[in-house]
Amino acid sequence: MSLPTYTMLIEPQELAALARADGSLAIIDCRHDLARPEWGAAAFLARHIPGAVFAHLDRDLSGPITRESGRHPLPEPERLAAAFGRWGIDRATQIVAYDQASGAYAARLWWLARFLGHARVAVLNGGLAAWQAAGLPVTSATAARPARGFVGEPRLSWVVTAGEVARGLERGEIVLVDARTADRFAGRNETIDAVAGHVPGARNHPLARNLDAQGRFLARAELEQRWRETLSGAKPSAVVSMCGSGVTACHNLLALELAGFAGARLYAGSWSEWIRDPARRVALS
């Protein structure tokens, strides 16, 4: 019997059934707190979905910070592929990523796997909170997964540089969409980065607009309506997603796919990279 393939979202009961049937399934815990970078690892040790392994945003899903980079640069493709191999993933493995609830961090792993050419990856809808609300088990027991060989095929065209963003906006060739909250986008409540505001010409679509009150993704029809409002007729291929550091921008990329608007790209450096160069303009509103 062939097992179902999940490429965007998976529900808690679907994951529970898949875990019973697929011994090669890789479940990746991506919980993180920007203000407490080690909270996710500690939370994982306290309780997690049985069989899961932990991926740290800073150490596993990001590369080293440089003088020019943002806060969460993309990891080198070879290094990321090696991490996937250590987590027991090969090109045939179904991956499921989860975080505490919203998918804000799990979507980063979802996008990175797809960036390496791995389509069989999904985000647990509602995260660990939904899993526990469904009465499904958690554990503190950890076990290493047997390593596998993972060969990535990075899709470098999916990533947009700061220079390409500036030129694309100047020429009217891109639609830049920022996933930060409205107050941070407007420059009224910047508590993370050294400069407040947004890239001139960017549009704001806070990731919370993709979610219901329980931190689950909205139904496709509602997502489609909300994204049509944001895009105002722009083609998905013209969309570039950004946020503070290129993490929650992936949440909007997942939501776009769910809404039927495939083809958007990622400004990986995002706001925290943009402001590294004082010559780059900043807007407040």
Q: What secondary structure, in 3-state letters, does 170-210 show?
A: HHCCCEEEECCCHHHHHCCCCCCCCCCCECCCCEECCHHHH
Predicted confidence (pLDDT) per residue in 95-141, tens digit: 999 999 999 999 999 999 999 999 999 999 999 999 999 999 999 99
Q: Within 10 Å of residue 69's Cβ, how many Cβ atoms?
A: 19
Helices (H), 12-122: 12-21, 39-46, 77-86, 106-115
| pLDDT higher than 80, residue 259 | yes
Mean pLDDT of the chain: 97
Residue 278 has pLDDT above 90, yes or no: yes
- How far is Cα 54 from Cα 52, in angstroms, rounded to an integer? 7
pLDDT at residue 285 in the model? 86
Which band of pLDDT confidence, cut at 50, 70 and 90, is reported for residue 144?
A: confident
Is the per-residue pLDDT at 19 higher than 70? yes
The token duo for 123 is 């985000």
Task: Give the number of other CB atoms < 10 A from CB of residue 270.
Answer: 28
Q: Which of 53, 113, 211, 243 is catalytic?
A: 243
| The two domains 9-133 and 156-274 share their CATH topology (first three levels equal) | yes
Paired residues of 26 in beta bridges: 95
Taking the alpha carbons of 197, 198, 200, 201 in that order, is the dihedral positive or negative?
negative
Rounded Cα distance, 160 and 162, in Å: 7
CATH of 156-274, one of 3.40.250.10, 3.40.50.2300, 3.40.50.300, 3.30.420.40: 3.40.250.10
**Percent of the chain whose pLDDT exceeds 90:** 98
The yes-or-no verdict on residue 237 having pLDDT over 70 is yes
Residue 243 bears catalytic tag: yes
Residue whose token pair is 């400069």 = 195
pLDDT reported for residue 212: 97
User: For 207, how many CA atoms within 13 A lie in the half-sphere containing its CB?
Assistant: 25
For the segment 21-48, what is each residue's pLDDT rounded down to a tens digit? 999 999 999 999 999 999 999 999 999 9
The pLDDT assigned to 146 comes to 94
The confidence score (pLDDT) of residue 1 equals 61
Query: Would you tell me which CATH number, out of the four given (3.40.720.10, 3.40.250.10, 1.10.10.10, 3.30.565.10), belongs to the domain 9-133?
Result: 3.40.250.10
Residue pair 98/128 in contact (Cβ under 8 Å)? The answer is yes
What is the DSSP-derived secondary structure letter of residue 210?
G
Q: Which residues pair with 230 in a beta bridge?
A: none
Does the pLDDT value for residue 224 go beyond 80?
A: yes
Q: Between β-strands 53-54 and 121-124, what pairing exists: parallel, antiparallel or unpaired?
A: unpaired
pLDDT tens digits, residue range 163-172?
Answer: 999 999 999 9
Quick one: tokens of 8? 């965007």
Q: How far apart are CA 212 and CA 153, in angstroms?
A: 34
Integer-rounded Cα Rg, in Å, for the chain is 18
User: Domain locations in the chain?
Assistant: 9-133, 156-274
Phi, psi dihedrals of residue 159, rounded to the nearest 5°: -110, 135
Mean pLDDT of 82-103: 97
**Whole-angstrom Cα distance, residue 11 to residue 136?**
12
Residue 193 pLDDT: 96
d(CA 113, CA 209): 24
